[in-house]
């Protein structure tokens, strides 16, 4: 006989317990971030065991820092990370959609719709919704397009100084670089306490010079990057116990010094080193007026290489003849150290254009949040340039939901119930934005849908200050369409994974079994 339980006044087969448990976990995670969405969204305070406090409005930060033990909750967090990695913005939207899809999916399953049919309808709905988003996208012409500033302002939570910084940097870098999949404008941002907002054409290295006897500034430097240690080749200590080994060691050191002289004679004035620097090299290069920076992170020296045209070398590459070695050198107009912050700036490189964005912050407490806001704005700007923009405020989602309503008649059987799940999920960003603004979501939803149909406009939404229906496009409320498309994709993937689970089994402790096996072997 099948066990039954009652949920929301309905009898539910016991086999749904796993699904309900997972859906509740997803709901809990979604509820942690849904209050932050929209212009009236609130902040969240995160407190750790030591009393350290982070106050943020950033969805992915909340999800990554919150304590989550349930496997389904961890799946949501991983989904947000995927959204952040791919697009850099829209993690809150992805989480809200994921919560809505699994909730509506569970409701349909409780009504008796087979999970397979729900998932079939969801896939159709998500695919058609993405096509509908793409049709409505308005292209961005380039970094000078006025719409791009609006994107930066919305994603930057109406902080005009940050929006201006991002647009200035985008113009400096150029459209070609921004469209490069390997380039992330968000990675060019650093927030610094007590510093004025700045954008400069160049690269920032978060290390100081190796030795204060080295020059603090070099003009028109030739630049060498060593993707290795700047030291003689290493030999085993056991080799030094023989005369031949000692002679080899001395020859390697002599060769190393000759290679350093070769570099100095080539006019190199800045050397970036991935690892350690030998004491002899430090002394010789300081005497020659060469600035050396050691243990430079990969991401930073890679940017320097692109910006200056330098090619990284291993230490053995220093054996190359001078004419060949020259091909590995880069150049820039200026390199100098900010001694107070122990940072090196390399400006006016001869390679690809590059911009560094320094976001000023008044106090240590707001440094992190200012940086997160700027990174969101930079990601949104880059996404908008790649895929175009659509009206924001949840308005375009309502128009897409109406498109799906019309498509329901094309589906056969119970798959239409899965399509309903997508329709309801698409309404969630709008209703949550309106709720966060202090208005009745159902009332405003009806007003906007009626106005969109009457005026045949997808741009109509709610003014979160007055509560009145307005044209969000005219007000400059626009979002990158790629953010929405990717958020819907990852939310759909998560929903499908959750809804397909109907059994949870605790895995055996393999370490315990291994210990028992070892004990049995010993006893044997």
Q: Is residue 301 part of a domain?
A: yes
177 lies in the same domain as 255 = no
What's this model's pTM, rounded to 2 decimal places? 0.80
CATH number at residue 107: 1.10.560.10
Contact 89, 483 (CB under 8 A): yes
Q: Dump pLDDT digits (tens) for 46-102.
A: 887 777 777 777 777 888 778 888 888 889 888 888 888 888 888 899 999 999 999
Q: What is the pLDDT of residue 327?
A: 93
383 lies in the same domain as 400 = no
457 Cα distance to chain centroid:
33
**Pairing of β 355-361 and β 189-193:** parallel
Q: Of 471, 431, 477, 430, whose CA–CA distance to 452 is shortest?
A: 471
Q: Where are the alpha helices (DSSP H) in 309-393?
A: 322-325, 364-387
252 lies in the same domain as 314 = yes
CA distance 297 to 372: 21
368 lies in the same domain as 315 = no
Tell me the CA distances in angstroms from 272 to 209, 314, 352, one per residue in order: 10, 12, 18
CATH number at residue 240: 3.50.7.10
15 lies in the same domain as 84 = yes
- φ/ψ of 451, rounded to 5, equals -70, -40
288 lies in the same domain as 237 = yes
Report, as ranges of residue numbers, the positions in the chain whose pLDDT lies below 70: 1-15, 237-241, 245, 504, 509-524
Please enumerate, as own/partner, the contacts of 461-464 that have beta carbons within 8 Å and a separation of 24 or more: 461/391, 461/392, 461/393, 461/394, 461/395, 461/430, 462/393, 462/430, 462/433, 462/434, 462/437, 464/38, 464/39, 464/40, 464/393, 464/433, 464/434, 464/437
Q: Is residue 31 part of a domain?
A: yes
Q: Is residue 288 part of a domain?
A: yes
302 lies in the same domain as 416 = no
Query: End of a domain among 323, 351, 379?
Result: 351
Q: Which residues contact 240 (CB under 8 A, 6 or more apart)?
A: 246, 249
Contact 244, 330 (CB under 8 A): no
184 lies in the same domain as 107 = no
Q: Which domain holds residue 97?
A: 4-138+390-438+478-499
222 lies in the same domain as 254 = yes
CA distance 275 to 223: 17
27 lies in the same domain as 59 = yes
**Sign of the CA dihedral running 309, 378, 46, 29:** negative
Question: Please, what is the Cα angle at 371 between 368 and 373, to 5 degrees?
Answer: 110
Q: Is residue 255 part of a domain?
A: yes
Q: What is the pLDDT of residue 514?
A: 52
Q: What is the pLDDT of residue 13?
A: 58
Query: End of a domain among 351, 376, 404?
Result: 351
**Sign of the CA dihedral running 214, 218, 222, 226:** positive
Q: Is residue 512 part of a domain?
A: no
Name the domain count of the chain. Answer: 3
CA distance 288 to 139: 53
36 lies in the same domain as 101 = yes
Q: Is residue 422 part of a domain?
A: yes
CATH number at residue 375: 3.30.260
Q: Is residue 397 part of a domain?
A: yes
**Pairing of β 10-13 and β 198-205:** unpaired
Q: What is the pLDDT of residue 517?
A: 42
Q: What is the DSSP string of 288-332?
A: TT-EEE-S--HHHHHHHHHHH----B-GGGGGS-HHHHGGG-EE-
Q: What is the pLDDT of residue 369?
A: 85
Q: Of 297, 331, 326, 295, whose CA–CA distance to 313 is shortest?
A: 326
**Sign of the CA dihedral running 250, 253, 255, 261:** negative
Q: Is residue 516 part of a domain?
A: no
164 lies in the same domain as 227 = no
Q: What is the pLDDT of residue 131?
A: 95
Tell me the CA distances in angstroms from 127 to 24, 121, 133, 384, 407, one per residue in order: 26, 10, 10, 21, 12
Task: Return the number of other C-beta atoms located less than 10 Å from residue 386's C-beta.
Answer: 15
């Amino acid at each position: 006989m099948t066990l039954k339980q009652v949920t929301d006044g309905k009898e539910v087969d016991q086999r749904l317990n796993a699904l309900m448990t997972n859906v509740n976990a997803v709901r809990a995670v979604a509820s942690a971030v849904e209050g932050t969405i929209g212009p009236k969204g609130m902040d969240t305070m995160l407190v750790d065991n030591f009393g350290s406090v982070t106050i943020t409005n950033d969805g992915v930060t909340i999800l990554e820092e919150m304590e989550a033990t349930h496997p389904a909750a961890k799946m949501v967090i991983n989904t947000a990370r995927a959204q952040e990695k791919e697009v850099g913005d829209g993690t809150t939207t992805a989480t809200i959609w994921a919560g809505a899809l699994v909730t509506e999916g569970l409701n349909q399953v409780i009504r008796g719709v087979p999970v397979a049919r729900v998932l079939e309808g969801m896939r159709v709905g998500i695919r058609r919704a993405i096509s509908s988003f793409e049709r409505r996208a308005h292209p961005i012409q380039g970094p000078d397009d006025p719409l791009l500033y609006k994107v930066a302002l919305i994603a930057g939570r109406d902080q005009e100084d940050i929006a201006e910084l991002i647009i200035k940097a985008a113009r400096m870098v150029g459209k070609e670089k921004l469209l490069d999949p390997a380039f992330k404008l968000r990675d060019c941002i650093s927030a610094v306490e007590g510093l004025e907002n700045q954008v400069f054409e160049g690269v920032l290295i978060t290390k100081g010079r190796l030795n204060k006897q080295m020059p603090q500034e070099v003009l028109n430097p030739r630049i060498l990057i060593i993707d290795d240690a700047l030291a003689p080749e290493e030999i085993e200590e056991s080799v030094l116990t023989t005369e031949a080994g000692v002679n080899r060691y001395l020859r390697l050191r002599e060769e190393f010094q000759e290679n350093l002289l070769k570099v100095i004679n080539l006019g190199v004035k800045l050397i970036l080193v991935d690892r350690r620097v030998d004491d002899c090299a430090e002394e010789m290069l300081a005497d020659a007026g060469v600035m050396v920076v050691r243990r430079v992170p990969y991401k930073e020296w890679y940017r320097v290489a692109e910006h200056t045209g330098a090619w990284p070398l291993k230490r053995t590459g220093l054996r190359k003849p001078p004419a060949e070695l020259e091909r590995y050198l880069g150049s820039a107009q200026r390199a100098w150290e900010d001694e107070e912050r122990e940072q090196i700036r390399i400006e006016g490189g001869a390679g690809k254009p590059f911009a560094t964005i320094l976001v000023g912050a008044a106090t240590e407490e707001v440094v992190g949040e200012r940086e997160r806001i700027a990174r969101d704005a930079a990601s949104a700007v880059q996404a908008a340039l790649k895929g175009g923009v659509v009206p924001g405020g949840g308005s375009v989602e309502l128009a897409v939901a109406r498109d799906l309503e019309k498509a329901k008649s094309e589906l056969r059987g119970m798959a239409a119930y899965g399509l309903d799940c997508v329709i309801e999920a698409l309404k969630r960003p709008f209703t949550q934005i309106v709720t966060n603004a202090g208005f009745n979501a159902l009332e405003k939803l009806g007003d906007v849908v009626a106005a969109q149909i009457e005026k045949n406009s997808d741009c109509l939404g709610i003014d979160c200050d007055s509560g009145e229906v307005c044209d969000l496009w005219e007000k400059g409320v626009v979002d990158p369409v790629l953010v929405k498309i990717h958020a819907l994709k990852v939310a759909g993937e998560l929903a499908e994974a959750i809804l397909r689970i109907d059994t949870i089994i605790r895995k055996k402790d393999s370490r315990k079994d291994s210990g028992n096996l070892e004990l049995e072997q010993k006893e044997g």
